[in-house]
Amino acid sequence: MTENTGHLEALMMQSLKGDQRAYAALLQETSRLLRPFLSRRLSAASEVDDLLQEILLSIHKARHTYDGLRPYKPWAYAIARFRLQDFLRAHYADQLRHAVDFDELEETLPEYVTEPAMSYESIEREVQKLPDKQASILQLMHQDGYTSREVAEKMGMNESAVKVAAHRAYKLLRKKLER
Amino acid sequence: MENIQELINTLSADTRVVKPAPHPFMLSLKWMGMAALYLAVSLAVSGLRPDWAAKLHSPWFIAEMATLLIVFITTTFSAALLSFPDMHQRDRLVYAPLAAFALFVLVMFFAWRADSPPSPLPVHSIECTLSIMLMALLPAGWTLYAMRRYASTHSGAAGSVALLSAFSVGALWLRLYEETDSIVHVIERHYLPMLVIGIVGMWLGKKILKW
């Protein structure tokens, strides 16, 4: 453990001197170190990957604040924790912003319970007028029957982003159909 | 995973020689030196209070100035530590201003008790707070600007101590310039606004020290 820690400091010192190989090795070691830390705190693998990329970018930006004279791990973890907090704050703020109010839900609930009065085909033309990404998401989910996770994989997005985009699309559609 | 590898390749290809940031001790010394110079120039322009020589024999005035100086030194050092993501791994020293403020409050309490019968209140009131704030603008600006070059992970706290450090420069200047002996006035108009400044600094830090 100590040997590995010393190794990281040495790699960082070499990186600060412009050694590209040492820097690549350091970033690889760092991502190996941080992945389990993030996986324990985030459920979706895509979120772990996104955040890990952001942390590596932050480490790159802040590398001048490390002098090689103190342990590397606490420095890297401080940045990781900072970005994780940022991510969670934004994530929950986004969820709150897009949370459906119960009153709003009551208004939009259709009278029927078991059978939808509207099929995808009947509103397809309106769906096509939506922004491309939203239209594709709705098409994949409601015409082709994919789940939001499958849509996320197909479109290279994370699942929560797909849900958010779909929710926005529903809102837009509702406005259009109400006119 | 592939994206991570791609990113690592891009970042490592982009790396070059990087000059490490100075030690926070040196950084804070630099900021303190600049503030001392600013204070000296300001006092040279505005002049010292007429009774400054007599004040050198007033133990509570000396104690007030000394503890205010300690507040300035500790807040500046804390601001320098907070500019680093890991606080240079000296977490405990970041809290040094708390001890300095506790000492300062204690000194002001005894100075207030010693001010008996109370010295008359000056005719002005809010002008003192405004003068200190005006005087603190420049040091606050350069400290926050300098802090932006680093990478604070506690931007709220960093902004707060930076502004308190600048405000203490202004407070030192006013006590050395203005001939006021009323401790009640000094507490109310010079030092209590520090509470608001700390909160404003927290908000400002979160806005300015984002990275």
The tens digit of pLDDT for each residue in B16-66 reads 999 999 999 999 999 999 999 999 999 999 999 999 999 999 999 999 999
Residue B180 above 80 pLDDT?
yes
- pLDDT at position A174, please? 80
Residue B99 above 60 pLDDT?
yes
Q: To probe the interface with A, which of B6, B12, B25 has the most A CB atoms within 10 Å?
A: B12
Give the integer Cα–Cα distance in Å for B149 and B146: 6
Q: Which residue of B has its CA nearest to A60?
A: B11
Cβ–Cβ below 8 Å for B8 and A56: yes
Of A141-145, A166-170, B139-143, highest mean pLDDT: B139-143
Mind listing the pLDDT tens digit for each residue in B64-79? 999 999 999 999 999 9
Name the H helices within A62-155: 72-97, 102-108, 124-128, 132-138, 148-155
Judged by average pLDDT, the poorest of A5-9, A105-109, B187-191 is A105-109
Mind listing the pLDDT tens digit for each residue in A68-94? 889 999 999 999 999 999 999 888 887
- pLDDT at position A2, please? 46
Taking every pair of Cα atoms in chain A, the longest distance, rounded to a whole number of angstroms, is 69
> Do the Cβ atoms of B59 and A40 come closer than 8 Å?
no
Judged by average pLDDT, the poorest of A81-90, A115-124, B119-128 is A115-124
Of A106-110, A144-148, B49-53, highest mean pLDDT: B49-53
> Do the Cβ atoms of A167 and A139 come closer than 8 Å?
no
- pLDDT at position A148, please? 82
By the 10 Å C-beta count (0-12 exposed, 13-18 middle, 19+ buried), B167 is classed as buried
**Number of other residues whose CB lies within 10 A of the CB of residue B30:** 14
Q: Which residue of B has its CA nearest to A31?
A: B4
Give the integer Cα–Cα distance in Å for B181 and B210: 42
Residue B26 touches chain A, beta carbons under 8 Å: no
Confidence of residue A1 (pLDDT cuts 50, 70, 90): very low
Residue B188 above 90 pLDDT?
yes
Residue A60 above 60 pLDDT?
yes
Phi, psi dihedral angles at A29 (to 5 degrees): -60, -40
The overall average pLDDT reported for chain B is 95
Measured between beta carbons, the chain A residues lying within 8 angstroms of B87 are 78
List Cα–Cα distances, A149 to A111, A128, A157, A160, in angstroms. 29, 22, 9, 9
Residue B138 above 80 pLDDT?
yes
Q: What is the mean pLDDT of residues A128-137?
A: 87
Residue B210 touches chain A, beta carbons under 8 Å: no
Written as six digits, the tokens of B205 are 């830090």
- pLDDT at position A106, please? 60
The DSSP secondary-structure symbol of A118 reads S
Residue, of B17 and A125, whose pLDDT is higher: B17
Please report, rounded to a whole number, the percentage of residues in chain B having pLDDT higher than 90.
Answer: 90
Q: Which residue of B has its CA nearest to A65?
A: B21
- pLDDT at position B111, please? 95
Judged by average pLDDT, the poorest of A34-38, A132-136, B174-178 is A132-136
Q: What is the mean pLDDT of residues B96-119?
A: 94
Confidence of residue A179 (pLDDT cuts 50, 70, 90): low
Q: What is the mean pLDDT of residues B110-125?
A: 87
Cβ–Cβ below 8 Å for A79 and B87: no
**Number of other residues whose CB lies within 10 A of the CB of residue A58:** 20
